[in-house]
Amino acid sequence: MWWKGKISGMTVIEPSGSQAWPRRRPASIRDVARLAGVSHQTVSRVLNEHPSIRDATKSRVLAAIDELQFRPSRAARMLSRQRSQTIGILAAAVGGHYGPASSVSAVEDAARERGYYATVAHLASVAPNAISAAITDLLSQDVEGIVIVAPRITVLSLLAALPMTVPIVAAQGEPHNASGIPVAAVNQEAGARMVLEHLVERGHSRILHVAGPPDWNDAQLRLRAYRTTLQDAGLPLSPPLFGDWTADSGFEIGRALTKDGADSPRAELPFTAVFSSNDQMALGLIHAFRAAGLDVPRDVSIVGFDDIPESAHFWPPLTTVRQDFRNLGVRCVTMLLDAIRRAGDPAAAPDTSISPVVEPQLVIRDSVSWVLAALATHHESLTGAAEHAIMVPRCYRSHGQRSTLLVTRQVASGVATRSWPAPETSLCTTI
pLDDT digits (tens, 9 = 90+) for 341-351: 988 888 888 88
**Is the separation of the CB atoms in 174 and 157 below 8 Å?**
no
Mean pLDDT computed over every residue of the chain: 80
Gap between the Cα atoms of 365 and 344, Å rounded:
49
The answer to whether residue 386 scores a pLDDT higher than 50 is no
Q: Which pTM was predicted?
A: 0.72
Q: How many Cα atoms occupy the beta-carbon half-sphere of 140 within 13 Å?
A: 7
Pairing mode, strands 86-92 and 146-149:
parallel
Count the neighbouring beta carbons within 10 Å of the beta carbon of residue 247.
Answer: 19
pLDDT tens readout for residues 280-308: 999 999 999 999 999 999 999 999 999 99
The answer to whether residue 408 scores a pLDDT higher than 80 is no
The answer to whether residue 403 scores a pLDDT higher than 50 is no
**Is the separation of the CB atoms in 143 and 119 below 8 Å?**
yes
pLDDT tens readout for residues 157-176: 888 888 888 999 999 888 77
Of residues 423 and 70, which shows the higher confidence score? 70
**Is the separation of the CB atoms in 189 and 219 below 8 Å?**
no
**Is the separation of the CB atoms in 255 and 223 below 8 Å?**
no
Pairing mode, strands 361-363 and 320-322:
antiparallel
Of residues 29 and 219, which shows the higher confidence score? 219
pLDDT for the residue numbered 261: 55
Alpha helices in 93-183 (DSSP H): 98-113, 128-140, 153-160
- 134: helix, coil or strand? helix
Least trusted range by pLDDT, from 9-13, 80-84, 383-387: 383-387
The answer, yes or no, to whether the previous bond of 316 is cis (omega within 30 of 0) is yes
State the pLDDT confidence band at 429, using cuts at 50, 70 and 90. Answer: very low
Of residues 383 and 63, which shows the higher confidence score? 63
91 forms beta bridges with 122, 149
